[in-house]
Amino acid sequence: MYIMKILLVAILALAAFSPQASETSLDALPAINDFAIAGGETEQYIAATNGGLYHSQDRGQNWRAHKTGFGLPATMVATTPQGTVYAFVVTLGLLKLDGKTNQWQAINNHFGSQVLRQLSVSRLNPSRLVARNHYGKLIVSDNHGEDWRKLSGPYQSNSEAEKQGRELYVEKCQSCHGIDGIGETYTKQALTDQNYLMAPALDESAHAWHHTDEQLVETILEGSPRTPRMPAGKSIGISAADARDLVAYIKSLWTQRELDCQGPKHMECM
């Protein structure tokens, strides 16, 4: 997540010095991350760029910036078989294009540190969306993008410790570390304030598995000296037993690779 944040900060810094032109050429667009063609009465080309979403009504000769998300990195745009157009813009999340107004509507912005790179829709069940994030993982929604989970299936506890840990996580940790440990969602403040430390993902996508159980328990109980946003758990009613349950839940979010490589062994698995 740290590397992704550095890249996004750099992109935002460049975009800040790129004034929005009323019309521009293809060669003058910011770096294009994805591209799609939207149907309708008039065909529309749409480009997801490092400087936002752009569209062309003349088959790519001239381009205008969409007002929504201008200056923010747009990492994905896709047209479904049913003609719906989706896009992902950092800090705004998943958007859907209204074909009548040509305006983008917010669908979901609870992706944590995930950035979507690709999206497909089931032909048999149009409410089912499958997306690939920048970690290369697949996530799925069964209600047109409003809620997401791992493609492997919803979370299921394997022990009483995991169950108790998940309940504690939802109560004490989820508001910062995200649903099922996916991390804090990107905001403009997080990307532009050098002193702002985002709450990291706790699943396999970040570095929680680089630490031993004992180190994780200590961090939960003692907090982080780097930021007051991570308070000492013992000051907010978390006991040592609670901390161990939280670690059990966090580890349930990892794959076998991370479990096998936890702690000092992680360098051998990089």
- pLDDT at residue 14 greater than cutoff 50: no
Q: Which domains are delineated in the chain?
A: 2-150 (2.130.10.10), 160-269 (1.10.760.10)
How far is 236 from 174, CA to CA, in rounded Å?
15
Nearest Cα to 226, choosing from 244, 199, 192? 199
How far is 95 from 77, CA to CA, in rounded Å?
9
- The one-letter amino acid code at 60 reads G
* Count of other CB atoms within 10 angstroms of residue 23: 11
How far is 177 from 101, CA to CA, in rounded Å?
36
For the chain, the average pLDDT equals 91
Q: What is the pLDDT of residue 20?
A: 53
Q: pLDDT tens digits for 179-190?
A: 999 999 999 898
How far is 64 from 216, CA to CA, in rounded Å?
49
How far is 56 from 43, CA to CA, in rounded Å?
9
- Residues 74, 87 contacting (CB under 8 angstroms): yes
What is the gyration radius of the CA atoms in the chain, in angstroms?
21
The conformation of residue 20, written as its DSSP 8-state character, comes to P
The whole-number average pLDDT for the span 18-36 is 85
